[in-house]
Each structure stands twice: as structure tokens, then as C-alpha cells.
Structure 1
Amino acid sequence: MKTLLIKLLAIITFCVGASFAMADEASDLHGLQTRWAEIKYNTAAAEKEKAFLALIGDAEKLSAAHQSAPFLIWEGIIRSTYAGVKGGLGALDQVKHAKKLFEQSIALQPDALNGAAYTSLGSLYYQVPGWPVGFGDDKKANEMLLKGLSYNPDGIDSNYFYGDYLLDQKQYKKAVVALEKALKAPARPGRESADAGRRAEASAALAKAQKH
């Protein structure tokens, strides 16, 4: 009886410890998401670069601590967003690093965050210059973005980036469909700032597509 009680207590302790670990991971991830949205959409342009650079440092530490696909994805998102703010050839190292992080996430857990690594990787492929400057590749972009949509067909990000890619490819009618779907995507609890910012981007892209 005593042995059984000890085993039960051990199981309970393990379960409680695992629950706390999961809660910490969720809290840490939400913190990165919230700070990213605040910097991207609500921070003055002159302050964005410094703010994103600091956030990269925190994301890198959390990726090392948790060693899970969602943190690899978010470190990659933060690095690639920082690269967009920084601009120029100096940003290329950041997008290359982000690409590796997305690929590592896919190898570890392809369906993490509803396939966000595929969508993020696809967005890099169509926005980064091609050879010999960078690794940009429109064919791979299409492949990755469609893969992201297969995991998250109704998501705001998956539809926005596919629509923006189609706009970049001058496929205006298809772009309109994807961007309208992005604007109809369900709200994400706790991600209000990110949703508002992305909807504004989708609306601007939709207006461009509709002109054609």
C-alpha cells in the first residue's frame, strides 16, 4: 500500500510539474507574440530597429530554453521582421538565419502553430532577392505557402501571405480571393493587436489587387 501511494504521489508530482512547464511555455510564447505585434504595429519607425534587436535576444534565449518548434518559428518571425525594418544587404544574414529556424521547426514538428513555419518560409522565398544575392525563389514560395494553407486554410496569416504573393506575381484575381478570405478570418484571442495590424495590411494589399 505504501509503495502504491509513493508511486501515485510521484505521478501527481510529475503531472503538476508538466502542467507548470506547459503554462510557462505558453506564457513565454504569448509574451513574444505580444511584444512583436506592439513593435511592428504600434512603435515609432525610428525606434523599431532597436526594439526588434532586443526582442531577438530574448527570443534566442527562449528558443534555447524551451527547444520546441513554436519558439523556433517565433525567433524566425522576429528575425525576418527585423530584417525588413533594417533593410539592405545587412539584413540578409538575419533572413538566412530565419530560414534555418523555419526549416528546423518543420523537421521537428511540421504542424506547429498550424503550419506557420511553412507560411513564414514561403513569405521569405518571394520577398528575398534571388541568386546570386539571396535565396529567393517564387516556385518554392508558392509550394511553401500552399503547404501552410493546407494546415490553416482559414487563417489570417496564411491567406494574407498567399494573397500578397499572388499580388507580387500579378495574379490579381486570385490575390483578391485570398486577401478577402484573410479579412474574414476568425479573430485570435489574445492576438488583437496582431489581428488589427494584419487586417490593415490585407486591406491595403486588397485595394492594390482590385485596381487591376
Structure 2
Amino acid sequence: MSLKKLLISLSLAAGFLGNVTAHAETMAEGIAAEQHAWAKGRYSLPEDKREDYFAQLQTRAHDFTLRFPNQAAPLIWEGIITATHAEYQGIFSARGTAREARDLLLKAIAIDPNALDGAGLLTLGALYFKVPRFGSFGDDDKAREYLQRALKVDPNNVDANYFYGEFLLEQGDKSGALMYLTKAVHAAPRPGRRDADEGRHAAALALLIKAQQ
């Protein structure tokens, strides 16, 4: 990436961080801002800039959650952002951050497990099978339980099918993985989530091709 493109990318990222939830008057506006900021950091920002980006986004997400106490949706998105932040941290820092994400998501699903089409359930399920590398609280049985619950809430959800397909592939269930990853690749785009859906569809296609080999 050229220096000019890098500076433009960082400038855009800073703009998202500066605007996330700062001027949101409603919970829906704030959630939409967090969704787009997450997608920007996850799929467009250079990888070596993502840890700092998501650290700042995590702080802003927490501040937003405090504005809407006892609401599942802000907790879910704070949990998603916190879990994503953990992915880009060193192993020792990531342990604590992953636990924070788990606790936020558990609190959210206790309020409303169906909120945001089961996003809390599927993110929690993904955490439970991805976190063992941190030596923390990985549990394949819980991962399967939460991911299956998420699929019951929204069987056609691109994220739920992607993560369950990834989980099954890691479990050695190749035929099951192919079925769910194919559903993820062909999942209909969600209104207002084009940036996230494009990134997830690309990831699902790459994993599907890997599973077919």
C-alpha cells in the first residue's frame, strides 16, 4: 500500500472513530454507527493498525452502552468489538479482553437472546471455539450449543452459517461445514450491512474453497 493510500485509509478510520455514537440520538443510530465502524476496521484498515483502532472503538462502544443500560443490542456490539479487539492483541492481553467480551455477551443474551437476530449467541459461540489459543475458557460443547441456538433464531444469517461452518470444519465434519459455508456464501445481503456482508461473503467463499480441497 502506498503512503498516500495508507494516510487516506487512516484518515477515514479516524473519521469513523470520531463519529461513532458521538452524535447518535437513538440507540438504533448508535448501533448502525458501530456496525459500520467495525466493518471498516475489520475489512479495510491495514492489519497492523487494527489493534489501536479497535481499542479506541471498544472504549467508545462501552460509553455508548452506558447510555442505554439493560439493553441487549449495545451490549452485543460492545461484546463484538471487544472480541475483535482481542484478536489483534498479544496473547497475554487477549486473555483478559476475551473474558470481557464473553461476560458482555452473556449479559446481553440474559436480557434477550434473540436480539439483533441472535448476534450475541453466535458471537459467544465463536468465542468459545476460538479462544482456546488463549488458554482461557474454550469449550467446544458450548460453542456448538450457542451457534446452533443462533441458527434457530435466524437460519439464513450469513454470520451464523459462516461461524458454524468454520466450527464444523475444525471439528473434522467436512460435509457439514460445506453445507453451512455454502449457505453463508449465498446468504441474501442485509439492509444497511453491505460493507460487513461483502467482507463476510468473501471470507466464507475462501473457507469454502479450502474445505473443498
Aligned residues: 189
Among residues 91, 94, 99, which one is paired with 2:102 in the alignment?
99
Distance 2:176 2:114 in 1: 25
AA matched with 1:195: D
Residue 147 of structure 1 is matched in structure 2 by 149
Contact 1:130 1:137 in 2 (8 A): no
Whose radius of gyration is greater, 1 or 2? 1
Contact 1:125 1:141 in 2 (8 A): yes
Query: What is the CA RMSD across the aligned residues, in angstroms?
Result: 1.5
Distance 2:141 2:206 in 1: 25
Matched, 1:88 2:65: no
| 4+ residue runs over 4 A deviation | none
> TM-score normalized by structure 1?
0.86
CA drift of 1:98 comes to 0.5
Cα displacement string for residues 132-168 of structure 1 (whole angstroms, at most 9, x for unaligned residues): x211011111111000000010000010000010111
Among residues 111, 118, 124, which one is paired with 2:114 in the alignment?
111
Among residues 77, 80, 91, which one is paired with 2:80 in the alignment?
77
Cα displacement string for residues 84-122 of structure 1 (whole angstroms, at most 9, x for unaligned residues): 111412201111011011110111111101111110110
Residue 31 of structure 1 is matched in structure 2 by 33
AA matched with 1:116: A
Distance 2:100 2:38 in 1: 18
Residue 129 of structure 1 is matched in structure 2 by 132
Cα displacement string for residues 171-191 of structure 1 (whole angstroms, at most 9, x for unaligned residues): 111100000001111111211
Distance 2:162 2:90 in 1: 22
Distance 2:61 2:104 in 1: 12
Residue 176 of structure 1 is matched in structure 2 by 178
Percent identical residues: 40
Matched position secondary structure for 1:33? helix
AA matched with 1:39: G
Contact 1:73 1:102 in 2 (8 A): yes
Matched position secondary structure for 1:43? coil
Distance 1:130 1:108 in 2: 29
Residue 21 of structure 2 is matched in structure 1 by none
Distance 2:169 2:90 in 1: 21
Matched position secondary structure for 2:26? helix
Question: Which runs of no fewer than 5 residues in structure 1 stay unpaired?
Answer: 1-21
